[in-house]
Structure 1
Amino acid sequence: MIRNIRRNLALFLSLASLALLPAAPVNAAPVDAGAPRMELPAPDKTGGMPLMQAFAQRHSTKKGYSGAPLPAQQLSDLLWATWGVNREDGRRTAPSALNRQEVQVFVALENGVWRYETAHALVKVLDGDWRSKLGGGSLVLLFAAPAANKWSGMHVGSLYQNAGLFCASAGLGNYVHASNASALDGKLPLPDGWSVLIAQTVGIVQ
């Protein structure tokens, strides 16, 4: 009997340890192999505004965007701060439950809608300038996640807060909104059950 108890305890501990291991990140829906790809400059991980000052400066800006594109380096830094890889094991600048990384970031630019890749690059998924339909600005970030996942709101919130703090530090305007989030429903390559939950307008303010 004691032997059986020990065996069952060992099995329970083994299963429990497996449950605590971080899950593999979710795979993105495939994009056309011939889709245009934009390599981003390496992110500048030094300098910037002190954190407490960025908190003091963080606010939503809904008007006054010029629509001018961000410089390539600033776009690179924004995307890395939002959802970039910051460790050699593939973990990112924002947390996710069990490291599932069940969020995809799309960015609507003047020359199309692009998906941000873990290799710090953009892959085009949609032609055309969709910014006016999504909230205007220099660009619009779109945060997609599994609609039925109870953690999706927490994950997306972590990302748009990262983006908002970067904008405060960089002197850019931004605001988060759901009213335009469904503008590209059915047009983006998303896994089954995923949808865009939140949009975030970012840009240069006149």
Structure 2
Amino acid sequence: MSIRRILMSLSTGLAVLALSLTPAGPARSAGSAADGTRMDLPAPDKKGGMPLMQALAERRSTKSGYTGAPLSAQELSNLLWATWGMNRPDGRRTAPSAMNRQEVAVYAVLENGVWRYDAAGHALIRVLDGDHRRAAGGGSLVLLYAAPEDRWSGMHVGSLYQNAGLYCASAGLGNYVHASGVSALDGKLPLPDGWRVLIAQTVGLTK
């Protein structure tokens, strides 16, 4: 193995370790999060939704008309799994990444805090209290995509928000991708050195 590949593997390992250091409390359902630090999500429904070609036909950006009502626990589970969940026993994901580096962190800005998606446990880990949705982009929730500032991150993040957009089309939810709000939580999220939020995606129920 070349020195470059060894250094890249070491960098990936350190980044994943840094993201895993946020403490997690005892497990509960998505509606009642134990001590408030962890929400276990229901198993994603992998059989439902529209056929792919129909979802592609329905995919669009929706920039207004959001009610702000929260998604159900099942909708939230499905959305996060479709976006960046594990779909194989070896830990690989629903979206590709260069050399399987998986250097993207997804944060869900909900009415009851900001939560990091833990794909391995299919759970949410609270990293920030309060309702920050308006500052980040509104809707039922906002997905924030954080990654290191390198040549691969734009490709990685783009793959994730396309997955989320297709799920929203399939589930009848509005969504749009935007750069406004990406700095709303600067200095508040527990990101590894050299990482930042690159893009945001508003998701939600519409009128």
Same fold per TM (> 0.5)?
yes
1:150 and 2:137 correspond = no
Distance 2:158 2:127 in 1: 24
Which amino acid in 1 is paired with 2:57? A
Partner of 1:182: 183
Task: Note the residue ranges of structure 2 that are not aligned, 5 or more in a row.
Answer: 26-35
Task: Note the residue ranges of structure 1 that are not aligned, 5 or more in a row.
Answer: 1-14
Partner of 1:74: 75
**TM-score (normalizing by structure 2):** 0.87
Which amino acid in 1 is paired with 2:50? M
Alignment of 1:4-153 (within 5 A): 15=1, 23=9, 26-27=15-16, 28-29=18-19, 30-32=21-23, 36-118=37-119, 119-147=121-149, 149-153=150-154
* Percentage identity across paired residues of the two chains: 72
Further displaced range: 93-102 or 26-35:
26-35
Question: Which structure 1 residue ranges, 4+ long, deviate > 2 Å from structure 2?
Answer: 22-26, 32-35
Q: Which has the larger radius of gyration?
A: 1
Distance 1:32 1:83 in 2: 21
Partner of 1:171: 172
The answer (yes or no) to whether the contact 2:116–2:126 under 8 Å persists in 1 is yes
Other structure's SS at 1:124 match = strand
Q: Give the CA deviation at 1:33.
A: 5.1
Which amino acid in 2 is paired with 1:182? S
**Could you list the per-position Cα deviations for residues 2-48 of structure 1 after superposition, in whole angstroms to 9, with x for gaps in the alignment?**
xxxxxxxxxxxxx47x95xx956641432145561000000000021
Q: Please give the root-mean-square deviation of Cα atoms over the aligned residues, in Å.
A: 1.8
Other structure's SS at 1:67 match = coil
Distance 1:183 1:109 in 2: 14
Change in 2 beyond 3 A, CA 1:205/1:33: closer
**Could you list the per-position Cα deviations for residues 136-162 of structure 1 after superposition, in whole angstroms to 9, with x for gaps in the alignment?**
000000000001x10000000000000
1:199 and 2:200 correspond = yes
Which amino acid in 2 is paired with 1:131? R
